Amino acid sequence: MKTKLSLLSAALLTASLAMTPALSFAAIPQAVDGQAIPSLAPMLERTTPAVVSVAVSGTQVSKQRVPDVFRYFFGPNAPQEQVQERPFRGLGSGVIIDADKGYIITNNHVINGADDIQIGLHDGREVKAKLIGADKESDIALLQIEAKNLIAIKQTDSDDIRVGDFAVAIGNPFGLGQTVTSGIVSALGRSGLGIEMLENFIQTDAAINSGNSGGALVNLKGELIGINTAIVAPNGGNVGIGFAIPANMVNNLVEQIIEHGEVRRGVLGVSGRDLDNELAKAFGLDTQHGGFVNEVMPKSAADKAGLKAGDIITSLNGRSIKTFQELRAKVATMGAGAEVEFGIIRDGDKKTIKATLGEADKVEAEAGNVHPMLQGATLEDSKKGIQITEIAQGSPAAMSGLQKGDLIVGLNRNKVTSLKALKEMLKDNQNSVALKILRDNNLLYLVLR
């Protein structure tokens, strides 16, 4: 079969060449039938120098509680926990966004816990990098290097991309060196995947593999549209489902890190859910896209702007909103004090509302600082207690038995009404504590050790 196919191909090629006498073999790489052969090479020659490799090393510290039986045998002086230190190395990718200042964007999970970060430039140079700041919830980190003759990537408005646009992924998969793959934008506004706390991903079928994290997703002009972050890999390899953080979200976070040294997360002050078919029918709507507002927090940015429970948010700054998770991710990464404009539907009428975002309580973004076993949970004040709005899969909070939607109403025998109060109660008590939880109208206690 292979021989017949080869002969058939050769015959077709000979016939094709016979029908185009002016075409010579030497001309094939440049043109076919007088038409130039499309190639990504010119764009990549301009763009790839802005994509770097990131090599990290450090020591991973793991803590494990010593079982009670050991304290029974060894008495009160027995250690409370066992600490293990293991060296680690890792590889990833990064993108130069400012050639003059040496700023490089990568994923937080690429450099998390690293003691040493080395950048491999396109021209072969290796330069030590320092960490300027990072945001775990969106998985973005900003690095800086000192080097001359750097080339920064071009930027574009990632809100302008559409499903079906061509996309090119550039990175360092498996430590092989810089590699380029191409595909299309498969979907936009992907969320609810449990990959990050804040999700609003670009989905692409351009091959992304281990080591591509932190690399660039660009359009056919070589402009950055996203930072490659994660893949769906049921068998450990690429299956054509990759995710990138939109460039606009990245730029918002970078600006905050540069200005403040940290991310000052914007807060609207609403809880809600996606507008689905059932809700749309109940409200007599002809759209099934948007964020349905369940509750508006008193004295919040939303309350001051005039948003009400039952409103359906359909756009943010003129850009359509498909899901409540997309709204949450965009608002949270815009930064405190940002002035925004929402398009809403209220009682069947379309309205526009302007708001100035508030600032998140730092406890919300750093739940692990409240108690180690709360790490991975997103906490928000509500009228009845502290609402758990998100739980990262595999996090200490998830392993403690906490679930999304839980309401923390007490600590040991004390009532808890706010994040501030919870932080104060736990300030001098980082050992075993009992959280009183309201879950589906049932009260229960969860012990944090």
Residues in the chain: 449
Check 213, 271, 395, 400 and give the catalytic one: 213
Angle of the 247-260 helix axis to the 324-334 helix axis, nearest 10: 30
Long-range interactions of 360-364: CB distance < 8 A, separation 24+: 360/264, 360/265, 360/266, 360/267, 360/332, 360/336, 361/419, 361/420, 363/419, 363/420, 363/422, 363/423, 364/265, 364/419
Distance CA 334, CA 336 (A): 7
Task: Exactly one of 109, 205, 210, 400 is catalytic; name it.
Answer: 109
Q: How many Å apart are CA 15 and CA 22, to the nearest integer?
A: 14
In the set 135, 139, 205, 381, the catalytic residue is: 139
For the question of residue 157 being annotated catalytic, the response is no
Cβ(370)–Cβ(423) below 8 Å = yes
Contact by Cβ (8 Å): 344, 307? yes
Say which DSSP state 66 is in: P
- Looking up tokens 């996090």, which residue turns up? 395
For this structure, is 210 an active site residue? no
- Specify the amino acid at residue 267: V
Question: Is 400 assigned a catalytic role?
Answer: no
- Catalytic residue ranges: 109, 139, 213
